[in-house]
Structure 1
Amino acid sequence: MPLWKTRPVDEEPVIRLQRWRILRTDVGSEHFVGFHSDGWSGRVSSDIEQLDPAARRGVTSTGRIYVLDGPSAWHTQAEYVWKRWCIVNHIIAYQDVTLVLIPDAEEDEP
């Protein structure tokens, strides 16, 4: 399965992610990783610049707004895209910081 570039921010300013996580790379960047149901694909955001944990919304370095829908969880397509993204971007290690940044992320009903 290939990776492809996302549509420009002015064409798609808001993305809703389901089954999402927040991952921090070994270079210190943090990214939303999840399933984009509108596009039926896994998605990795650019670096997160602002996060509102209560509203479950964030803004990335491109200015795109991500809305985190439902509970956090892994999705197979999102995991695949993340692993490929790490290879392309020479990321050696990462950690899941979802519950550090949004402590109640898994309390929603699945």
Structure 2
Amino acid sequence: MSFGPATPVYLQSSATLIRWRVFETETGERHFAGYCTESGHGRVTSAITSFDLQTGIGISSSGRAYQLRGKSQFDDDADYVWVLWSLYNRVEWSKDVSHEYRALDVGEP
């Protein structure tokens, strides 16, 4: 499994995450961490700048739109990337705030 930047936004303006969670860091930033169906890998997003609970679409600071699908739940690949991302970005602590987004839990696609 590799760890590196996602495809540039100008080449992929949107992505779908399944088995996703939302983490808040000590700085107050929130990030999606989930399994990206387009790449087939775990992904951690840049900071979430907006989120529509009705559509399940969030925009990250990179400008990419993320469609959340299915239930908020653990994914091995996403957790692995979250741990590496947190170490790389010197995150001192984080908490899972996925419960705030659970109105979306509609089952797996």
TM-score range, shorter chain: over 0.9
1:52-71 correspondence runs (5 A): 52-71=52-71
1:1-110 correspondence runs (5 A): 1-100=1-100, 102-106=101-105, 108-110=106-108
How many residues end up aligned between the 2 structures? 108
1:68-110 deviation line (CA, Å, top 9, x unaligned)? 011111100000000000000000110111112x24244x235
The TM-score with structure 1 as length reference comes to 0.92
**2:22–2:30 Cα contact (<8 Å) kept:** yes
Letter of the 1:56 counterpart:
G
1:52-73 deviation line (CA, Å, top 9, x unaligned)? 0111101111110000011111
- Stretches of structure 2 that go unaligned for 5 or more consecutive residues are none
Q: Identity of paired residues, percent?
A: 31
Q: Structure 1 residue 4: deviation in Å?
A: 1.2
SS at match of 2:70: strand
Alpha-carbon distance in 2 for matches of 1:21, 1:90: 20
**1:99–1:105 Cα contact (<8 Å) kept:** no
Moved over 3 A (4+): none
Q: Structure 1 residue 2: deviation in Å?
A: 3.4
- Stretches of structure 1 that go unaligned for 5 or more consecutive residues are none
Letter of the 1:109 counterpart:
G
Task: Give the superposed CA RMSD.
Answer: 1.2
